[in-house]
Every structure is written in C-alpha cells, then in structure tokens.
Chains A and B, each alone.
Chain A
Amino acid sequence: MSLSLSRHLPKDRESFSTLAVLVAFVGLFLVFATQADAFLTLGNLRNVLVNNVVLLAIVALGVTFVVSSGGIDLSVGVSVDMASLVFVSALAAGVAAPLGLAAGLGAALLVGLLNAILIARLKISPFLATLGVLFIGQSVQRLATGGGQPIYLVTKDYAEIFNAISRSSLLGVPTPVWVLILCVLATWLALHRMGFGRQVQAIGARPGVAWYSGIRVPSRLTQVYILAAVLAGITGILLSATVRSYVPMSGNAFLLDAIGATFIGTTISRERRPSILGTLLGVALLAMVKNGLLLIGWNFYWQQVGIGVLVFAVLALSFGLQRRH
C-alpha cells in the first residue's frame, strides 16, 4: 500500500510546481482585471492573443526543443528577421505569395542549418555558435537594407495577401491562432509522444549516455536547430503580414522572451525540464504581464522591471512549494 502511495507522489509534486505558475497567472489576471478597465475586454484579450501570444509562442516552441537538447539558440531573432526580409522582398519583387512564403521559410531554415553545422558538425558550443550567427544575421540585414531601412508594402496590391494571413479567420478563430494551434499540436506530439522528443531530452540530460545508447546525436541536434529556426520563420511571416513590412532587427524582441518563457515553463516539471505546456504557460504569463502593466499605465521601462520581478517570484514560489513538499 505504501507502494501505491509513493506511485502518486511525483504527480502531486508536479502539480505543486505547476501551481506556482498558475497561482501567479491567476493572481495577476485578477489584479489586472480589477485595476485596468480595458484589460478584461474581448477586444484586448483577442489583441493580446493574436498579436503577442501567437508570435512569441511559436518562437518559444522552437526554443523549447533547443533547451531540451541542452543547448540555447540566440539566433531565433535572426530567423524571424530573415524569413520576414525574404518574404517581403519577394513580394516586393512581384513573386507569387505562396512562393514568397516558401522562400521566407527557406531563409529561416538556412539560418537553422548554419547553426546545426556549427553545433552538430563542428562541435562549437551552442551559445557561441548562435551568438556568432546572431551577429552575422544582423550585419546581413543592415547590408541588405542600406544600413537598416525598413521595407514597407503598404499599397493595396499587398493588402489582400497580408490580410489573408493575419486578418482572416476560420470558424471565428483568427488564422494566426490556427497556425499556433497546429504548431502546438505538432510540437507537443514530437516532444512528448515521439521517439524524437525522448531522444532530444536524453541528449539534453546527458549527451554521453545518449551517444552510448546509440542515438545519432549530431543528426538529432541538426533537426532541433532547423526546427527552431523554421518555427521562428513562421513567426517572421506572421509578423510581416501583421505590420505589412519588414523592419530590420525586429526579431530580437522575441529572443529573450522566448528563452524566458521556456525557462519559466521548466518550473512546472519535477525534473525542471522544458515542456510544451510549460512554455505556453510562460508565454501567456509574459504576454499578460506586459499587456496588463501597459494598461495600468506603467511605462515601457517599468514593464521590464515588472517582468524581472515576476520571473523571480515564479521561481521562488515554485522552489519553495517543491521544498516544502
């Protein structure tokens, strides 16, 4: 009977940690709902979901795989930008939309491939490799745009394409949200229900054990970095369509938030392991705090302070609950 009791223990512990993030989430939600009139309106929530959550979440899903594999990707912003740059430039040059879209995702894929070669083949540490790609990517953008000029496609010719991507909806659900749902479903299956995800987690847990267990570590890592880049590329396309332009270096805004969301998400698992659900919670928390603080009237700089405090609070709460248990 003690056996059956202990068998239930880890689940309890997990839910205790999950509780930390949920408590923070619900608590802040209530604070914002009572303090800012505009917060709890359908328009605002929809706006946060479509414009903040979707874009960040898709990037963060990719980062979740990278962190699971024991690495880090500082170049996801570059993947966002490259997809956006190529997509917008292709449209501007009169290329058909589907082709431009494919080219944009292809550009992101190349960024991932470059990371993969540096990390999986040349064995450069993920931090340094992706930092290098970040620098190169930023320079490439400046060179390609005459020092960082945005490319605006505001004429009517492009409105149809952009609207089809960012403003349309299916069954009352905006297309970007559908894209997110598909991405979540696919990545959840890949990370939590397929051999791929288990192997990636083994690499992250102990690369030597993974290698000695017959896992092809280099090819798995290659797939992970390409996946992260392509997911970031999807955000790049959605972003271009939303702002109807390519703005150099705009992808960087996602970098730290995506990494932050992933790590906030690790607090919900007993092993402090990244998970799709955890990352989504992390993204939702960050997006809500930013929006809420804005509506309460904090200025941009204080928002950053608020997010910093939030991260500490979630971690402290989660560790505290776990220790007590």
Chain B
Amino acid sequence: MSGLAIDMTGISKAFGPVKALVDADLRVARGTIHGLVGQNGAGKSTIIKVLAGILKPDSGRITINGTRVESLTPASVERLGVHFIHQERLLVPTATVAEAVFLNYELRFGPFLRPGAMKRRAEELIRTHFGLELPGDTLVRDLTTAQQKIVQITRALAQEAKVLVLDEPTAALVKREVDSLFAVLRNLRAQGIAVIFISHYMQEIEDLCDEVTVMRNGTDVGVVRPGETSIDEIVSMMIARDVGEMFPRRSHALGAPVLRVEGLSQAGHFRNVSFEVRAGEVLGITGLLGSGVKELVECLFGLEQPDAGSVTIDGEVRRFANPGRAVQGRMALVPEDRRAHGVATDMSVRDNITIASLDRYMTRGFVSRARENEAVDGFIRELSIKTPHRDQLVRNLSGGNQQKVALAKWLSCQSRVYVLDEPTVAVDVGAKVEIYTLLNRLAAEGAAILFLSSDLLEIAGFCDRALVVYRGTLNGEFAGETLDSDLLLAAASGARAQRKEA
C-alpha cells in the first residue's frame, strides 16, 4: 500500500467550452500538510469539488487511502474518511455545538439520541484538540468565526477523519486564532492525518506546509517544498510571470482635502476621531478586531450614526442618515463581506454594476438598456473583469472578479470618496495587483481613498499615509519612513502614539 492518502491522476473537467481542469494531478502523502495554491480560476476549487464528490470528472483516476474509487458522492467521500472544511459552508446557526459536531452521525441508543453523551464527547474533543472550554450547548450563532471553524474541524475529528481539506480556513481569523489553528493542524499531522490546505496567504503556506501543489490554468504546474522554494518563486509559478512590483507606485500630486472628519465619536466604539483625506490620496486605516475601526467606517457611510463630530466632503458638512444619502453624497463603500453586502451573486454583472446609479442610465423615466450595456461593457474592459458576457451571474465569477464588479458599481456612480473595507481579502495575487492599479488610477483622477485593511504589509506597501485605531482612538499617524508594518502593529496593539515624520 502506498503512503499516499490522496492520489488523483489525470483529472479533467470541462464546463461546456471552458476547461476547468486539464490532466491535473494531486498527490498527498499521509501525515503531511499539503498546500494547494493558484490564482482564482486556476482549478483549485474544481479539483477539490471533484474530490468532494460534488463534481464528476470527465476523466482521471482517484485513489483514496489505497482504495481506487470509481464514482464519488459527498456521502461516500466522508465514509472514506475525507472531510472538508469549506470556506462558505456554514453551520446551522440555531444548532448547538454538540448538535453541529454530531450532525448526521448522532450518537444513539437504539432509536433514541443521546444528547448528554454527545455534549460530553463534543466538549472533550474540543478540549483535547484545541485546549478550549466550549460548552456543548452553546448556539452556533453565538460563536466567533474562529470557534465555528473549530466546531467544523471537531466534527471531522469525531468521524475519525483520515484526510482534512481546509479551504481558506484563515480568511476571517485574527493572528492569534490562526496560530492556534496551525498548532492543531500540526498536531493532526503528527497523528498521521493528511491535511490539504488551500490559502491565498503565501506566508501561511510557507509556515505550515510540507509540500505545495501549484496550479495554473486548470493543471498542476509543479510540486514544491516551501523550505527549498521561495514565496516569490511559488508566486511566479502561479502567474507564470515575475511578480514585479506587488504595490504599483503613484506619482501624481495630491490635491485639496476631500474628506474631512472632525471629532467623530460613537459611544462604546470610538471617540474624537479626526483626519482628512486629500484628492488623490490613499489613506490607510487599520486596527485590531474590536478597535472600533469597523464602526468608524459604518458611521462614515451612514450605516450607523455617530454621536458627535462632523464629516465634511469637498467643504460641505454632510450627515448621512442612511447609505442612500451617502451614495448621493458621492461616497462609496466596498464592504468586507462581499457576498452579504458587496455583490448580489444571483444577479448579472450588469445589474450589479448599475444598481447604485440607475438614474445615470435613464431616458424619459426608463432605464435605457443600450446606455447601460455600453457603460457596463466599458467597465468590463477597463477593469478586465473576466466574464464571458455582461449577463453572466456574478456567482460564476472568481473572487477577484466579483470584487472588481463591486468596485465597478461605485465607478459607475462616479464617486468622490472611496471607503474600502478589506478589499483584497480572498482575492488572488494577480487580481490584487489589478485592484491596486485601479485604485491608483482613481486616485490620479482625484478621488479620495480610505483603505481599511488588517494586512499591515499591504497598508505599509500601498498607502500614502496610515492611521491606527486602538481602543476607539487614533493611536498614531504613519507616513514615509515610519510607514512600516512593525510600527503599525505596535501601535495597533497599544504602543504609545507615534508622531508623523514626513
């Protein structure tokens, strides 16, 4: 018997004319953590869906733990000990932790469930694997994202998983949670479990994985060991060109202040926040979870109301009672939760792009399809949104292209102030650079950009200036020499305020 937990060979899968997988291989040895990287659309999700029994491959051979499998269904895959922690598959919000852990594998006594036993067993599993005390009767909806991940992994462990597949497991986690997740995965590896780890975060891949399969254009272009291959080399393999400059430069001069925030406060969240963003400027803002920076952004866009202070746009004091007013005030928000707030995945590319600016496409009271289509085709070209046509449902686009649609919505409004909340989360490297380039062009055209990110390297690399929010107040402004991820991190964690050194 081979030492391979998963052996997928020559897998091909086409959707109509689109070849999603072309003769792709994925081999994962027992007791290793195997990274799977590639740009969106490279075929990562497709090969994982094939393994999960969700998609049927057109050709190819799959062997799981030495057993050749002919046709897979989601249920049969689980019986073979392969478990998936999907990025979006959510738990039932009204279930308890114990119910979620034993969903579909309930402990029984004859025909009767054993709730007490399931609660004890769930708590015990979580304690031994995660060193965490999580009462088994807690409702899933009361858990943090990290705890929900833990519950999902615990469910797999309760079924004695042999292979664990994690799709972007760290996307919504803070650093400390990521560290403890990694400790758990290393522990599982020591127990002989194979882990397939999909992530856009190269640093995580390097820290965690023993081997990495790099995918591009529907096939595997190499298997590398992170110890022997640098991140840059891996990224080059992914995009088949040199990464070049990750953060494209801006050279335009800054104009007059566009957005001015003075003494803005909201009880319990932030107080006395003042700053300004000039035309053409990209101002970074960051803060840890609970710092109040999210609420600050919500107040700017009219989703929440501040208790005190003022917001001025182009010299005019504005108070937005709701997002509708903010949009009229030519403010744009690209929200963090793209699927809930950014794009309507069941609507077309066109409908998503024009939804906030329909009045721009009106002729005699009716929406002019012709003008709309012309504008939308323009945005698709300009932003190189990869979609077969404007009527495509946004659901069928990759993460990066969905984010471009979310941005195009505000370009269509000709917004003046862009507030971006984690715009590059779950966006692949290539699309990230495209988004940066696009923001640079907006800035060059005189827009003011407030860029909220928890990726401090991104803040340091991309922004002109950066603010750090710590426990509801600004804790330092950084520019030039001081705009450095270590200093940002120190300020975000509460180190004494820094002075700007221009």
Contacts and interface: CB of A to CB of B under 8 A. Distances in A.
Given A212-B323, A213-B323, A214-B328, A202 B340 contact: no
A84 interface: no
A157 interface: no
A193 B344 CA distance: 19
Given A7-B389, A194-B365, A198-B351, A214 B344 contact: no
A195 B341 contact: no
B344 A195 contact: no
A271 B351 CA distance: 12
Interface stretch (B20-28, B160-168, B353-361): B353-361
Contacts of A210: 344, 355
A297 interface: no
B324 A205 contact: no
Contacts of B344: 202, 205-206, 209-210
Given A7-B389, A194-B366, A208-B340, A213 B327 contact: yes
A299 interface: no
22 contacts: A3-B388, A6-B388, A7-B391, A10-B391, A194-B366, A194-B367, A195-B359, A195-B362, A195-B367, A201-B347, A202-B355, A206-B345, A208-B337, A209-B340, A209-B341, A209-B352, A211-B341, A212-B301, A213-B355, A214-B325, A214-B328, A215-B324
Contacts of B232: none
B365 to A, nearest CB: 7
Contacts of A214: 323-328, 356
A75 B326 CA distance: 35
Given A2-B17, A208-B341, A209-B341, A198 B367 contact: yes
Contacts of B343: 206, 209
A199 interface: yes
Contacts, number: 92
Contacts of B365: 194
4 closest A-B pairs by beta carbon, nearest first, are A214-B327, A195-B358, A205-B344, A206-B344
A189 interface: yes
A206 B346 contact: yes
A215 B355 contact: yes
A225 to B, nearest CB: 19
A121 interface: no
Contacts of A213: 323, 327, 355-356, 409
B366 A189 contact: yes
Given A189-B366, A206-B346, 12 more contacts: A5-B17, A10-B389, A194-B367, A195-B367, A202-B351, A206-B344, A208-B340, A209-B355, A212-B301, A215-B355, A271-B347, A271-B393
Interface in A209-251: 209-216
Interface residues of A, number: 27
B322 interface: yes
Contacts of B391: 7, 10
A164 B226 CA distance: 84
A147 to B, nearest CB: 42
B295 to A, nearest CB: 15
Interface residues of B, number: 41
B342 interface: yes
Nearest to A2: B17
Nearest to B354: A198
Nearest to B320: A214
Interface in B318-334: 322-328, 333
B389 A199 contact: no
B335 interface: yes
B358 A206 contact: no
B399 to A, nearest CB: 16
A209 B388 CA distance: 23
Contact of A6 (B327, B333, B389): B389
A271 B355 CA distance: 17
B496 to A, nearest CB: 36
Contacts of B342: 209, 212
Contacts of B409: 213
A189 B367 CA distance: 10
Nearest to A215: B324
Interface string B169-209: 00000000000000000000000000000000000000000
Contacts of B351: 198, 201-202
A216 to B, nearest CB: 5
A198 B346 contact: no
A282 to B, nearest CB: 21
Contacts of B392: 10
Contacts of A208: 337, 340-341
Interface in B388-410: 388-389, 391-393, 409
Contacts of B322: 216
Contacts of A193: 366-367
A101 B409 CA distance: 44
A211 B323 contact: yes
A199 B16 CA distance: 32
Interface in B199-243: none
